[in-house]
Structure 1
Amino acid sequence: MPGQVWGLATHDPAGPIFVTSFAGRNLDATVLTAVDLAGGVIWQRTFDGRPRPPRVTPAGTVWLSHRDPTGHTFIEVGPDGQVLRSVVPEHQAHEHLGAFVLLPDGFCTIWLPTSPYRQVPPGQAPRVARHTQAGATTWSTPLPPAELSFPGVVEAGVETGWQLRPKKPWRPQTISVGHQEPLLVSANRVLVEITDGRGGIGVCTIIDATTGGILITTPPGPYQHKAITGPGSFLIGQQGYGAFTTTHYDPDGHARQTWPSHGMMLVDHHGTISAAESENVTPSRSRFRVLNPDSSVSDGPVLSGYYTTYPALDAQGTAVLWRDGKLLAINPDLQSRTLFAQDDDRAVMSRILLLERGRVAFSLHDELLLFNSTGLAPLGNGPWPCGDGNLHGNPVHT
């Protein structure tokens, strides 16, 4: 690929794969590449603005966003690489797009009052909005900044000789969207995370997708991976500062149960939840686990290394992921086998796509990897069988 890959998606298991990446060292340009399942480049197009994951429609068109001095624009690109239309969602010139997803009748967005990782100007707040296909605002819901303190977070002391100044409670300085799955839509519910860019402490808010009304806002915490479990229900994980949990929220916004595990979660069509654990600890203590209905967990294989692709679950219940230089397949009985191995410690990874005829696709830094004849079934049809929930790369479950 022309530069570090930012995301990949497809409209169909037969391809093509649409890849967004940086344009080499130009961090203010996006290259959209269409790749066939033999690895051949069909076409490439370059757009202004930093790359985001591509959002693909069932018709095979791709939506991107870009920013110029006047604001943000959504661009729809056809299967042949030609621009079909542009939509300017209603927003203020100073606002920055935090995230967006495609809805059947338009878009859902997060708007930040300043560029990510900057201090919030007084009197301003992030907001979530729903837009029509023409960009008009259906509703807009401000998210007032919270006091994002958390028990395990402290400011670093300053060493003076052998003395350390007392550590002080940390307070937020900058604002951004969540690093992992910042915006999910399931049936009539929207889940959004706003976080402080400096310490990683955020809050999650569940919103009524029809009215824009807030159902609940979670206590501040180190929120990480999230997933959809069914119509209007979500999993929200915490990891860091002593937290290592996953909590299930129902359509009313109530926390129903919590597991002592956190990771890149998968949900099959039976509602079974499994995860490749993700913890900032080395050497690794992570495993592939199943989160049981009684809030216990079942241990699968130990996962060596640290960096992991977001796994994918095939129709037979086998999970596949790349970790520590190995392409692993873990069956429903939690037995692991290695499909491929090489000495490779690249840290920047994409999610995994399961395509037709047992093909597997994912990226490592600026390279797209395609594996044939793995014996895997097509992607499962549960509410969250892979990162972003579907091949389209659009985390919306209707």
Structure 2
Amino acid sequence: MEDPRKSSMRFFSDQNLCHADILPPSEIRARIEVAVLNFLRILASPTPAISDLPLINRRSSNSRACKGLLTQVSCIFLSHSFCTRSLMRANTAKAFIRVWKVMEMCFGVLVQEKRVTQRELFYKLLCDSPDYFTSQLQVNRTIQDVVALLQCSRYSLGIMASSRGLVAGRLLLQEPNQEVVDCSECGLSGHAISGDLNRLETLILKTDARYIIVVEKHAIFQRLAEDRVFNQIPSILITAKGYPDIATRFLLHRLARAFPGLPILALVDWNPAGLAILCTFKFGSIGMGLEAYRYACNVKWLGLRVDDLEMIPEQSLVPLKPRDLQIAKSLMSSEVLQENYRRELEIMVQHGQRVEIEALYFHGYDYLGKYIAKKIVQANYI
């Protein structure tokens, strides 16, 4: 059955929306070959020239927040507004060459029918092209350039997601012809989420949970798993240990598709970074605007919320850092930020304070489960 999120693309009113395709290796190799042939054709013409590379613009000014008629989930998309990589401008020449180097490397990976992580790709490029690649960030940004040029997903390029994510609780996982993994018996470490999106897509999932709880912090996830909160509150716990990686977002999206009746609730710090993490799960990210809709889920803000501050001791309130204010400014300018989120963010900035989930330990180390249960009963999430 076709993913309703994908089919709903046909019903967006803005026909200029752009997205990355999931394509077979043969199609990706063909797109790379066409790009190379076009480049060579222009060089060999009677009036040779170096053409710019037209990339989908990934700036926030080119982002759109859209909701399809067949889904309640708003997602970040990019419009068909282009930027360029040029070999003729000194400040972009190296970035221009990096795109070709990464395409060359991806072509070889696809020919060999392999998968590589961004980290593996970095070390290979560092050895092969040290004049052009000196950091992981350069590789990550260039991969997104290639996605924006070829308009295909990273996974289609043979690039496997590196995963930090863990899952625990009332969930049975089974790869085809493999043993069943009971995520309630994995201890406080949980079960590691694979970075292979194809494996995640083919997982057989079973649950009797009533909620999916997304936890910002690894330490909080461990506390909830150790306390076996998922038995008190029938639930699946999932964490990306901070800002969500693609594999964790992909598994959450799979869970949302497999069990559409389960509310997805986020437990994050009451600070701009916590809200940014929630929004990444909920709407996607601008940097991955071409693929964001594939991983967006209808995540609801469980806590911490402004109405929780009355139970937090004053000593646990911490001043906002410059980085917090920078994140808050970015969120405020975002088209996707809904009004109730915006109001809460304004309160954070006005108070100049932040609160971490650990502040709830004032009420005892076993209080987190009680807090979650109370918030669910109140149903005070949106």
**Which gives a bigger RCO, structure 1 or 2 (Cα 8 Å, sep 6+)?**
2
- TM > 0.5 between the two? no
Q: TM-score, normalised by structure 1?
A: 0.28
Whichever structure has more helix as a proportion of its residues is 2
Q: TM-score, normalised by structure 2?
A: 0.29
Q: Rg bigger for which structure?
A: 2
